[in-house]
Structure 1
Amino acid sequence: MSTILIVEDEPDVLLLLENRVRGAGHEVLSAIDGEQGLELAATQKPDLIILDWMMPKRDGIEVCEELRRHDPDHRLKVLMLTARSQRSDVDRAFEAGADDYIVKPFSSRELIERIGALLSPATD
């Protein structure tokens, strides 16, 4: 079982994500802002983070950049899940170190498939 940290400030979206991810068999941790997300990432060592962009205290890009300073090899997978849909936003997220990017509104099935792909061991 993988541990997934969800960093999302909208309570309804957070609840939906928690239910979908838990239903797919993963352990779930939650944070409601970027600072809390960074603290949980440091102390709980999740396998993957689902990260919103627009949040209080520290936005998702800042969080992603901070995570990558401590994990340049991308052991921790980061999936940006955000309403920001411009090509420049997607590019910015990948430049910050995101491993994948999904635009809200999202398909629960697609989310679970992308999580599975990110958590699958790499094959050479």
Structure 2
Amino acid sequence: MTAILIVEDEPDLQHLLKIFLSKAGYDIHLASDGAQGLQSLQKSRPDLIVTDIMMPNMDGLEMIREIRKNIPKEELPIIVSSAVAPDAATQALTDGYLRKPIMMGQLKALVEKVLRSQAGS
């Protein structure tokens, strides 16, 4: 089963994303900030990460930069979900962007697209 790590500090949205993506057939793991996201990666590597940018403790951008020091983009795709559009540097490190509020249909389509392109590379 394809594993997705959701890194989101808003509990209601985290829960909603987990339910939606679980029903779509994915194995979902959760983290509430970038530091927890990195800890989760040490335990097991997901097939995809969906992360917010603005979070307490360690934000999503810092987490992404840490991940990319060890894991290239080709090996672990990352989708950003944020109310703020990512800058060019963030876009270069990630595989997709969803503007909040997230439309679940757009999320599912982007997840499928990124995973398909990952499988093809």
TM-score (norm 2): 0.92
Q: In the alignment, is residue 41 of structure 1 matched against residue 41 of structure 2?
A: yes
- TM-superposed CA distance for 1:56, in Å, is 1.0
In structure 1, how many angstroms separate the alpha carbons of the residues matched to 2:24 and 2:50?
14
**Equivalent residue pairs, number:** 119
Structure 2 equivalent of residue 66 of structure 1 = 66
In structure 2, how many angstroms separate the alpha carbons of the residues matched to 1:79 and 1:71?
15
Structure 2 equivalent of residue 15 of structure 1 = 15
In structure 1, how many angstroms separate the alpha carbons of the residues matched to 2:103 and 2:17?
11
Aligned pair partner of 1:91 in 88, 96, 111: 88
Change (3 A) 1:92 1:20: same
Q: Which amino acid aligns with 1:109?
A: G
In structure 2, how many angstroms separate the alpha carbons of the residues matched to 1:119 and 1:37?
19
Structure 1 equivalent of residue 120 of structure 2 = 122
Q: Secondary structure at the match of 1:81?
A: strand
Structure 2 gaps of 5+ residues are none
The sequence identity of aligned pairs, in percent, is: 35
Contact 2:38 2:63 in 1 (8 A): yes
Runs of 4+ in 1 over 4 A off after TM superposition: none
Structure 1 gaps of 5+ residues are none
In structure 2, how many angstroms separate the alpha carbons of the residues matched to 1:43 and 1:58?
18
Q: In the alignment, is residue 113 of structure 1 matched against residue 109 of structure 2?
A: yes
Q: Which amino acid aligns with 1:99?
A: D
Task: Give the CA RMSD over aligned residues.
Answer: 1.3
TM-score (norm 1): 0.90
Contact 2:73 2:94 in 1 (8 A): no
In structure 2, how many angstroms separate the alpha carbons of the residues matched to 1:58 and 1:30?
15
In structure 2, how many angstroms separate the alpha carbons of the residues matched to 1:73 and 1:55?
22
Q: Which amino acid aligns with 2:90?
A: A
Q: Secondary structure at the match of 2:74?
A: coil
